[in-house]
Amino acid sequence: MSRRAAILAVNAGSSSLKFQIFDIEGGEPRRRIRGQMDGIGVNPHLTVRRADGEVLVDRVFDPSEVTGLPDAIATIEAWLKTLDDVHLVGIGHRVVHGGPHHDRPVRIDGKVLEELRVYQDLAPLHQPNNLAPIRLAMDLVPDIPQIACFDTEFHRHRERSRDCYA
């Protein structure tokens, strides 16, 4: 079975972890898989679907199995390893706050990660959870580039008059 180059997109929130896999061979990225773990720590439920809607996983876990985001990440990571035909070449992460230095997507390294950690107080329900999968991926797959895309990027490029009069 040939392995296809793909990108993993991750959106880690306070009680859910969403992900998508995009094939990138042959031009435009095409969504191949989307999934999410909802109810982390309360009523964990993992659903994974192909782009055509076919359900690959629909499993409810005991709350003791997925008590927090680290357990959810580990569960999804274990499932992703079953995809023999996927060759990850990049990981993209939604990050709420980029601070004053990051107004565009940026490749993540140790310096960038430390800069983003500083902004946890500005988005305490999201920023720590956004950074957790980044740290894990840096440890597990250090050779795969990771990119952070910021919510604050959207607001940074708006016209000032829209903030004053909207």
Q: Which residues are catalytic?
A: 151
Instruction: Give residue for tokens 């003791």.
Output: 64
E-state strands within 2-80: 4-12, 17-23, 30-38, 45-50, 55-60
Query: Which letter, b or e, does each residue of 44-74 get, where b requires 16 or more Cβ atoms within 10 Å of its Cβ?
Result: bbbebbeeeeeeeeeeebeeeebeebebbbe
